[in-house]
Amino acid sequence: MTLNISQRKIIKHWATGLFAWLVALTLFFPILWMIMTSFKTELQAISQPPLLFWEATLDNYMLIQERSDYLKYALNSLYTSVGGTVLALLVAVPSAYAMAFFPGKHTKDILLWMLSTKMLPAVGVLIPIYMITQMGGLLDSIYPLIVIFALMNLPIIMWMLYTYFKEIPKEILEAARMDGATTRDELRHVVMPLSWGGIASAGLLSLILCWNEAFWSIQLTASDAGTLAALIASYSSPEGLFWAKVSAASTMACAPIIVFGWFCQKQLVQGLTFGAVK
């Protein structure tokens, strides 16, 4: 049987689609399974063969909230992520702006150096940071975490903003100047509107990285300033057969950032190219 071109195209369309859906569902499966398990009882969670249909229960969620005050950890995560991101942006936006529009001889070297500081492993400086925090009486407080998160993400944010600002054509600025725009006008009406995309996506990536950061949160916090990442890590020891409860806690820890990420996907991608798209 021979097929004409349009028939072939349709078959190819459906085959690609089926395959893509299959791959996507496979890769998404662990997340789906986690969410499903969180609505089971502990016995259902480990039943063999795995249960695909069951009567959903909210008990795990209630229990987690009762036992470990989810809201407190969630707020700590929110404060540290937003705080760290805002602080980093406050420092990075003017710097990256200056570097992109008024590059010096060493601007590129400086940027590469900044990225290379990210290569210093956190464990290498864990003890000094721990001791400084301890000396300042700031163990188990969210403030050192905010500062660390900001510094931790600063190089990547700088890089994203720099590459984004650099793409803004300088001719637009010149044109605005010709039309008699002052520096303030220029910043407000030309540079800012064109920069929002880059700032938004750098901020989003930083938020995601802060929210999920585990190393410093585990080391520097306990019950007062603990973030969700630290809370989840504390569930790792009594592994046993508490999958349903662990799943409920995990789902609650990830849901905010996943939903947030889904909605902001487009904005996130805008600046995530690191100047790779030419």
Partner 1 sequence: MNSLSNTSTQTPRKWLNMVNLLKAPSIILLLVWMIVPLSMTLYYSFVEYNLLYPGPKLFIGLENYNYFSTDSAFFPALFNTLVLVGSVLIITVGLGLALALLVNQPFFGRGIVRVLLISPFFIMPTVNALIWKNMMMDPNYGIFSVISDFFNVVPINWLEDMPLASVIMMVSWQWTPFALLIFMTSLQSQDTEQKEAAQLDGAGFWSIFRFLTLPHLARPIAIVVMIQTIFHLSLFAEIFVTTGGGPGFASTNLAWLIYRQAFLAYDVGVASAGGVFAIILANIVAFFLIRAVGKNLTE
Residues 31-70 that bind partner 1 (CB under 8 A): 31, 33-34, 37, 46, 48-50
In the window 151-180, what residues touch partner 1 (CB under 8 A)? 151, 154-156, 158, 177
Q: Under a CB-based contact definition with an 8 Å cutoff, are residues 205 and 268 in contact?
A: yes
Residues listed for the chain: 278
Nearer to partner 1, 12 or 62 (CB): 12
Pick the binder of partner 1 from 3, 7, 16, 189 (CB under 8 A). Answer: 16
Six token digits for residue 57 = 């229960």
Pick the binder of partner 1 from 63, 75, 122, 168 (CB under 8 A). Answer: 122
Nearer to partner 1, 1 or 52 (CB): 52
Six token digits for residue 91 = 């420092």
Q: What is each CA distance from 129 to 63, 91, 181, 190, 214, in whole angstroms?
A: 35, 21, 47, 41, 15
d(CA 209, CA 107): 26
Pick the binder of partner 1 from 52, 55, 105, 124 (CB under 8 A). Answer: 124
Pick the binder of partner 1 from 2, 66, 102, 105 (CB under 8 A). Answer: 102
Residues that contact partner 1, how many (by CB under 8 A): 98
Residue in the structure block whose two tokens are 């956190």:
122
d(CA 24, CA 18): 10
Q: What are the phi and psi torsion angles at 251 (to 5°)?
A: -60, -45
Q: Under a CB-based contact definition with an 8 Å cutoff, are residues 231 and 249 in contact?
A: yes
Pick the binder of partner 1 from 11, 23, 71, 222 (CB under 8 A). Answer: 23
Residue 186 binding partner 1, by CB under 8 A: yes
Among the residue ranges 54-62, 65-73, 192-200, 240-248, the one whose residues contact partner 1 (CB under 8 A): 240-248
Nearer to partner 1, 1 or 276 (CB): 276
Q: Which of 206, 210, 204, 205 is nearest to 76 (CA)?
A: 210
Pick the binder of partner 1 from 72, 143, 215, 267 (CB under 8 A). Answer: 215
Among the residue ranges 63-71, 133-141, 192-200, 268-276, the one whose residues contact partner 1 (CB under 8 A): 268-276
